[in-house]
A and B are shown apart, each in its own frame.
Chain A
């Protein structure tokens, strides 16, 4: 499926592959190696490993919004403000 776009598509699919394929390939291998690294570690993983696996499923869907689907899978789905901020940082995935 092609992206719907406000602007005329500047590049062909082939040109986009020429420009970005090797970079995307590299990032995919990094993700795979990261998951292997976590598995090799001692102790137990936390919610972030499952969250990443859940988010990876978005890559299997037909577009046009896979990036949005990955971000949604890694987002806090609740709507009410929390009682108090537990700190300042964020973990990258929602652990409940």
Chain B
């Protein structure tokens, strides 16, 4: 089995996870910028984090032979402070040429506030001006449906944005069609207790796939399962899906989207 982990917060994981991912057939890991679990006190904290994502973490992954890519932004959980967001967004262009940076993400909304929408628009503008791919985080639980609609409105209202260069992540049964019908890619996040289980991910693949769909573990500092992509591949296999369909879902689909950035080469 070969697979791509297109969304994992490896700075929060131990090196055993890298070894286990390699043993399971991981061919590349992609790390969107994320909330640290606490609010960073200034833009300097983000500068250090962007250095970690573009210098240190790729080196750590390379020790296990795993190509590491990253996405940059200020996460929606810290977007209520527009002033801070402006400072952080101003830092990002100097990192965009780094060899492992794929685009802007994970941007989006958390509680669907006006300031979050404003900061989302700023990120979308940044991506458009620098011709970057976009990875969108959709909100949790009761906020997901509204946040997905608001996010899609922002993206559709910017004529520079081509939907095939945007992935709407953490979709569930009530939001997947909104993303796919808009011409966007959709990501299924395999997370315990929230988002999506392996069985439901395979359900959605059967109903809505196989075009423009990928899966990720989104493993981070919370309760999460770094090997959930290969575990879900086993679930597909258990249901009788042929190896070629599994390979498409866990390897060729993410490779197709990510290869729109010329820096993504395996």
Interface residues of A (CB under 8 A from B): 3-7, 9-11, 19-20, 65, 67-68, 71-72, 74-79, 81-94
Contact = CB atoms under 8 A, between A and B. Distances in A.
B139 interface: yes
Contact of A91 (B139, B141, B203): B141
Nearest to A74: B142
B210 A85 contact: no
Contacts of A88: 35, 77, 110-111
Contacts of A94: 142
B177 to A, nearest CB: 9
B116 interface: yes
Contact of A10 (B77, B149, B174, B241): B241
A85 B145 contact: no
B209 interface: yes
A3 B35 CA distance: 38
A81 to B, nearest CB: 5
Nearest to A20: B199
Contacts of A89: 140
Given A75-B146, A91-B141, A10 B239 contact: yes
B114 A68 contact: no
**Closest 8 pairs between A and B when the two form their complex, measured CB to CB:** A85-B111, A90-B141, A71-B174, A75-B145, A68-B173, A90-B140, A85-B113, A10-B240
